C-alpha cells in the first residue's frame, strides 16, 4: 500500500526517504535505505508508518528520535490505534489514515482521523497528502476509521472477488477467460461510471431502470438477492472486517 501512495506522492515538493529492509523498488527521486541505522541522525517532518499492524510494536519505537520538532506520524495501518502509536513513539502527534489500493492510480478513497497531539496543521497536511491519491473522508473517532477500513480500505478486495466470481460465472456460460473478463469489467465499469454521474438517480432507481417486468434482469436479480442473501452476506462481510480491525487495535 505504501508503494501505491508513493506513486502519487512523488510529484510533490517533499524529499522522501523510504526505509525497507526488503529493498523494494522506489520511484526515481526517492531515497531508499535498507536499515534505519543509515538515517539514525536525520529528522523528518512526517514519518509514514506503512508496515503491517502486527509489526508496529517491534519497529516504530526506534523512529521516535527521527521526528523533527513540529512533525507528526501518519499511519496507514489497519486497526492499530493512534493512541497506542503515539505512546509507543514518545507522545508523538499521530494521524491515522485508511487508504485503499486504487490510490495507485489516483482513485483511492482514504479515511483520515486526527489522533493524539495532532494539530489542525497536521490534519490539513495529511488531508492534502491523501487527496493526491484520491478522495478523502475525515472522521472524528478511531472507531469510525475502523468502519471506513471495513467499507473502503478492504473494499477493493471485495470488488475484485465479486468481479472474479462474476467472470467465472460468465465462463460457465461458454465465454473464454478474456471475453468473460472484458464483458464483466466493461459492464461493472460502465454501470459504475453511470451511477457516478452528478445527476445520476439513486442506486435503487438505476437498478429498476434495467429491470423490465417479467424480463431477464428480474429473473437474475431474484436469484441474486431475492431472499436477501446477498444483503446479509455483505453486511456480514463489513462486520467481519470491522471486528478484525478492533482486534488489531
Ligand X SMILES: O=C(O)[C@@H]1CCC=N1
Distance CA 68, CA 112 (A): 22
Widest distance between CA atoms in the chain = 72
Closer residue to ligand NAI (CB): 76 or 89: 76
Q: Which stretch binds ligand NAI (CB under 6 A): 75-83, 87-95, 186-194, 202-210?
A: 75-83
- Choice from 5, 47, 50, 88 touching ligand NAI (CB under 6 A): 50
Beta bridge partners of 32: 18
Element (H, E) at 49: strand 44-49
Closest contact distance (angstroms) between CB of 138 and ligand NAI is 16
- Choice from 81, 100, 123, 136 touching ligand NAI (CB under 6 A): 100
DSSP alpha helices (H): ranges in 10-154? 56-59, 82-88, 120-131, 142-148
Distance CA 67, CA 90 (A): 10
DSSP 8-state assignment for residue 78: S
- Choice from 99, 114, 115, 134 touching ligand NAI (CB under 6 A): 99
Closer residue to ligand NAI (CB): 55 or 222: 55
139 counts as binding ligand NAI under rule CB under 6 A: no
The entry of ligand NAI, ligand X, none that residue 26 binds, CB within 5 to 8 Å by partner kind: none
Distance CA 45, CA 232 (A): 45
221 counts as binding ligand NAI under rule CB under 6 A: no
Distance CA 239, CA 11 (A): 37
Q: Closest by alpha carbon to 118, among 49, 69, 71? A: 71
Beta bridge partners of 135: 109
Closest contact distance (angstroms) between CB of 68 and ligand X is 28
Report the relative pairing of strands 108-114 and 94-98 from DSSP bridges: antiparallel
Query: Please, are residues 104 and 4 in contact by the beta-carbon 8 Å criterion?
Result: yes
- Choice from 5, 26, 77, 150 touching ligand NAI (CB under 6 A): 77
The entry of ligand X, ligand NAI, none that residue 22 binds, CB within 5 to 8 Å by partner kind: ligand NAI
Closest contact distance (angstroms) between CB of 153 and ligand X is 4
Binding region for ligand X (CB under 6 A): 78, 149, 153-154
Closest contact distance (angstroms) between CB of 133 and ligand NAI is 11
Contact residues: ligand NAI, CB under 6 A: 1-2, 19-22, 24, 50-53, 55, 59, 76-78, 98-101, 153
Amino acid at each position: 500500500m505504501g508503494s501505491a501512495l508513493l506513486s502519487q506522492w512523488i510529484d510533490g515538493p517533499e524529499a522522501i526517504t523510504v526505509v525497507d529492509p526488503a529493498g523494494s523498488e522506489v520511484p526515481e527521486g526517492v531515497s531508499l535505505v535498507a536499515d534505519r541505522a543509515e538515517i539514525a541522525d536525520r529528522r523528518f517532518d512526517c514519518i509514514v508508518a506503512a508496515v503491517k499492524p502486527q509489526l508496529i510494536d517491534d519497529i516504530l519505537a526506534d523512529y521516535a528520535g527521527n521526528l523533527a520538532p513540529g512533525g507528526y506520524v501518519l499511519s496507514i495501518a489497519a486497526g492499530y490505534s493512534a493512541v497506542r502509536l503515539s505512546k509507543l513513539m514518545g507522545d508523538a502527534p499521530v494521524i491515522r489514515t485508511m487508504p485503499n489500493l486504487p490510490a495507485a492510480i489516483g482513485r483511492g478513497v482514504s479515511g483520515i482521523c486526527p489522533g493524539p497531539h495532532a494539530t489542525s496543521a497536521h490534519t490539513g497536511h495529511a488531508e492534502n497528502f491523501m487527496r493526491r491519491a484520491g478522495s478523502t473522508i475525515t472522521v472524528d473517532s478511531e472507531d469510525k476509521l475502523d468502519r471506513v477500513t471495513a467499507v473502503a480500505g478492504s473494499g477493493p478486495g471485495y470488488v475484485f472477488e465479486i468481479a472474479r466470481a462474476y467472470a467465472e460465472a460468465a465462463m460457465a456460460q461458454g465465454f473464454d477467460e478474456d471475453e468473460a473478463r472484458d464483458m464483466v469489467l466493461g459492464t461493472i465499469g460502465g454501470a459504475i461510471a453511470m451511477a457516478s454521474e452528478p445527476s445520476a438517480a439513486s442506486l435503487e432507481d438505476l437498478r429498476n431502470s434495467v429491470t423490465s417486468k417479467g424480463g431477464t434482469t428480474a429473473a437474475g436479480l431474484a436469484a441474486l438477492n431475492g431472499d436477501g442473501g446477498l444483503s446479509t452476506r455483505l453486511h456480514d462481510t463489513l462486520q467481519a472486517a470491522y471486528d478484525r480491525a478492533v482486534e488489531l487495535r
